[in-house]
Structure 1
Amino acid sequence: MSGTEGDVFHQDFYTAERWNNWVNQVKECDFKFDESDEPQGKEGAIFVNMEDDIILACLKIIAKCENGQISPETAMLSIADIRDIALAEIDPISEDADMMIESLQTSLMGSFAACEAYLSGDYDENAEISDLVKVALEAESSDDIEIAIGTVAEIGALVLSGKELTEKVMEEVPYGLVAEWLDGIDSIAAAMVGSDSYKNDEEDDES
């Protein structure tokens, strides 16, 4: 019974068309880094908005699961659907835009892993985020990428459960995969405090 109900929700949270609209905006904006190699202006904001759009869709799925409107299984499938859309290979646009999209997709890997760990309960609620960051960095330096992403997923699950990923912790993380994945967790934290409209049950996507 929840299968048919779940299938309706399953399709509605995020679509490939929505993602492609963002990609088209990137193509149209002729994005380039400035001299400081930092994304600037409204062209740079497109990538932030792309990521926020994905993360808010994931938070909406989690909220519906917590409200009992969809099962954890349907929620996991819906997150997986969005992950497949957002992490699919994109045809080259330009060197700068391609670098930004690659960075955004890497960041989103952390976000998706966090949502899945949270929904499956695959994390220790009493763990300390700062300790887990050290474990993730050690795993990355040992090229144990599976443990690194798994640990980042736990950090994200803790953030989704209400714990704080502090600026101090983020500042101490050297640039690398863990840093990019944690950027995706940081984006989840920002979205959670930015607006809780994702918790509301307004069906803006009517079937």
Structure 2
Amino acid sequence: MPEQEMNQVPPYEFYTQKRWENWLGRARESGFQIKESEEEAGKESAIFVNMVDDVILACLKVVARFDKDMLSREKALEILAEIRDIVLSEVEPISEDINLMIDSVQTSLMGALIAFECYVMGDYDEGADIAELVKSAIEAESSDNLEFALDYTAQCGALILKGKSLPEEVMADLPYGIVAEWLDGIDSISAAMVGSDSYKEFDEEDEEDVV
């Protein structure tokens, strides 16, 4: 699609500040507390999983339109940056446990968002091995080189968006750390893509902010 036609696409809000604030409101109202029982914690923490998934779905819609040449690279990156600014902005403290969960949400989203940006930029090698990239990211983290660690993580995510899969054995053996949290975001992208491809076909006029 020619650049001038791309710029004539009607404005569509893929994600909004209001939507994020609604999720934060739900988190606040949940009264979430970290429990000893995994079952109880799992039920109550669903709000935070859904929070991540909602942002990722919005980003997948951006990428789907980019892939169809309905958005230019510049415009897609601009929209992703707007989403990043919304969801990674500082959140006012709610409670110790909820604050910890929101911090985890934002760290996971950081991993996901840099993956989307890497994909749109085309700044990755399609022939790269995901397991090796994860290994490199973990090694970079252990050397306190978080910039390289983030770059390797971004490339992992770009490959997932290209259709590759995260090796289960790699995810199972991840040492606890920031790379593991970033990769949680990448894993959420993978799960969203497997769960449904409805994000590829959406009607802008019917889309509602139902959160």
User: Under TM normalisation by the shorter chain, which class is it?
Assistant: over 0.9
- Give, in angstroms, the shift of residue 201 of structure 1: 3.0
- Give, in angstroms, the shift of residue 169 of structure 1: 0.7
Partners of 2:9 and 2:184 lie apart in 1 by: 30
The alignment's TM-score, normalised by the length of structure 1, stands at 0.94
- Give, in angstroms, the shift of residue 181 of structure 1: 0.3
User: Which of 8, 12, 16 is the aligned partner of 1:5?
Assistant: 8
In the alignment, which residue of structure 2 is the partner of 1:163? 164
Q: Aligned letter for 2:74?
A: E
In the alignment, which residue of structure 1 is the partner of 2:183? 182
- Give, in angstroms, the shift of residue 70 of structure 1: 1.1
* Contact in 1 for aligned 2:6/2:70 (Cα 8 Å): no
- Determine whether 1:23 maps to 2:36: no
Give the gaps of 5 or more residues in structure 1. none
Partners of 1:154 and 1:7 lie apart in 2 by: 31
How many percent of aligned residue pairs carry the same amino acid? 56
Secondary structure of residue in 2 paired with 1:32:
coil
Distance 1:39 1:183, change over 3 A: farther
Q: Aligned letter for 1:130?
A: A
In the alignment, which residue of structure 1 is the partner of 2:75? 74
* Contact in 2 for aligned 1:26/1:43 (Cα 8 Å): no
In the alignment, which residue of structure 2 is the partner of 1:91? 92
In the alignment, which residue of structure 1 is the partner of 2:116? 115
* Contact in 1 for aligned 2:141/2:149 (Cα 8 Å): yes
In the alignment, which residue of structure 1 is the partner of 2:50? 49
Partners of 1:122 and 1:25 lie apart in 2 by: 36
Q: Mean Cα displacement is larger for which, 94-103 or 39-48?
A: 39-48
- Determine whether 1:130 maps to 2:152: no
* Contact in 2 for aligned 1:6/1:71 (Cα 8 Å): no
1:60-95 Cα offsets, whole Å, 9 max, x none, are 000011111111111111111001100010000000
* Contact in 2 for aligned 1:106/1:180 (Cα 8 Å): yes
Distance 1:127 1:61, change over 3 A: same
* Contact in 2 for aligned 1:2/1:71 (Cα 8 Å): no
Partners of 1:202 and 1:154 lie apart in 2 by: 30
Give the gaps of 5 or more residues in structure 2. none
Q: Aligned letter for 2:191?
A: A
RMSD: 1.7
Number of positions where the alignment pairs a residue of Structure 1 with one of Structure 2: 204
In the alignment, which residue of structure 1 is the partner of 2:201? 200
- Give, in angstroms, the shift of residue 20 of structure 1: 0.2
Q: Aligned letter for 2:101?
A: M
* Contact in 1 for aligned 2:119/2:158 (Cα 8 Å): yes
* Contact in 2 for aligned 1:26/1:46 (Cα 8 Å): yes
* Contact in 2 for aligned 1:2/1:70 (Cα 8 Å): no
Partners of 2:107 and 2:10 lie apart in 1 by: 28
* Contact in 1 for aligned 2:6/2:71 (Cα 8 Å): no
Distance 1:140 1:82, change over 3 A: same
* Contact in 2 for aligned 1:125/1:158 (Cα 8 Å): yes
